[in-house]
Structure 1
Amino acid sequence: MDERRQYTRTLFAATATLSFNDKTYRTNILDLSINGALVSEPEALSLTLGQKIGLSFLLPESDIVLNMDTVLVHHKGQQLGLECQHIDLDSISHLKRIIELNIGDAELLHRELAQLLHLD
């Protein structure tokens, strides 16, 4: 298999909402990275690669909601790969902390953040 990932992914189970064409769909997050998420495909949702999708989810056992604007970059089986296009400062701060706690390597996370910030 061709491994092209540039960012460390961490398993993360949470219910989320996808927003597309003024409709919302429930989904489940399967894993997260500093640059996106892998989610389960909701029923009755038909998407094509490159489509913009809003992703929102509540951090478990809190009232903190993370929001990101994403684009669909792959669709395999019943899974959607979403690449983050925009994320607000509060959400990226919380996402950074989730990744940091799960990978246990702050230096790796800082390198990935630096790489993300230099890609335009």
Structure 2
Amino acid sequence: MDDRRQFSRLNLTSDAKLISGENQWQTQLLDISLNGALIKQPQELTLACQPLTLEFMIHDSDICVQMQVRIVHKKNQQLGLACLHIDVESISHLRRLLELNLGDASLLDRELERLFGLN
């Protein structure tokens, strides 16, 4: 299998929420990266609801991470989401979470450069 991922992913099971306008769907976060996420597809969600906001809390904290996303693939009742926008506070918390769990700050620095087109 050709793994074309350019960003490290962290397996992270957490309750999450998808938001589109006034609509909200509860879901489960399965993994996360600086550039997107994998979630369980909420049953009531139609794939036409885009763009979306993904929101989840970091375990054992009151820190909420939010990112605007779009659905890029669906497989086995799971949705792959690509990050369209993330605010500075959320990406700082997400970077720290990934750094603590992946243990390689230099790798994450390179991924941030790639994400923002700095290289």
1:70 aligns with 2:65: no
Find the aligned partners of 1:21 and 1:77 in 2 and give their Cα distance: 26
Structure 1 counterpart SS, 2:67: strand
TM-score (norm 2): 0.92
Equivalent residue, structure 1, for 2:10? 10
Q: What TM-score do the two structures reach when normalised by structure 1? A: 0.92
4+ long deviations beyond 2 Å: none
Deviation at 1:4, TM superposition (A): 1.5
Q: Structure 2: which 5+ runs fail to align?
A: none
Deviations for 1:39-81, whole angstroms, at most 9, x for unmatched residues?
A: 0111121205x93111011111211111110011111111111
Map of 1:86 onto structure 2: 85
Give the match's secondary structure for 2:37: strand
Aligned equivalent of 2:52: 53
Counting aligned pairs with the same residue, the percent is: 48
Distance 2:101 2:58 in 1: 14
Task: Please state whether the residue corresponding to 1:118 is helix, strand or coil.
Answer: coil
SS in 1 for 2:80: strand
Aligned CA RMSD, in angstroms, stands at 1.5
Mapped partners of 2:32, 2:4: distance in 1: 16
CA distance in 1, matches of 2:101, 2:63: 18
